Amino acid sequence: MSEETPIINILTYQFPYKLANQIYNEYQNRLKEAIYLIENYKTYDALKDYINTVELFLSLSIFHKRVIANFDGVVKFYGTVTKSGDTDTIQIGTYKMTGEEKNKILAVVLNYRELLEKFGVPPVLMEYYETRELLKNLKEFKSEIENGNYNQKGKGSDKEDDLPF
């Protein structure tokens, strides 16, 4: 029986080695910590049966923090620089960022946000500093869903045709 590819490897497929390695190492360290906390602290006991889900959200949150947040920052920076100056290209060293590249990056950010909304993932789940904060957020999210208090804004369609890419 073949083992499934971890989602973090899928998210970082074809990334430069240095970046992919940093993301993967952070994922491994946080996953070990999360499993330890879940198995050894009663506070996180509600997540014991959902280790795979914790792994998925951990992968997604690290991808969000290390890739999407930076893309969003680049788009905002480009907007600030081009608004205050008389230019449509930003040059850093030999690299030139044009409006066309900015639009491609913006499309990635918007598609990512649309996917989160479509599947009802609150963006607040991605905002944490320590692993235990993520676990606390996941525990609260699970509780809201179970109690029917979570208002999913997503469309909830299972059709692949609805994906934004």
pLDDT higher than 50, residue 165: no
pLDDT higher than 60, residue 155: no
Residues 21-71 have pLDDT tens digits of: 999 999 999 999 999 999 999 999 999 999 999 999 999 999 999 999 999
Per-residue confidence band for 152, with pLDDT thresholds at 50, 70 and 90 = low
- Residue 131, number of CB atoms within 10 A of its CB: 20
pLDDT of the residue at 164: 42
- Residue 160, number of CB atoms within 10 A of its CB: 6
Percent of the chain whose predicted confidence (pLDDT) is above 90: 68
Q: How much is the average pLDDT of 99-113?
A: 95
Q: pTM for the complete prediction?
A: 0.84
> Mean pLDDT over all residues of the chain?
88
> What span, in angstroms and rounded, lies between the C-alpha atoms of 63 and 60?
5
Nearest residue to 141 via CA among 130, 152, 131:
152
pLDDT higher than 90, residue 157: no
In the chain, where are the structural domains located? 7-132
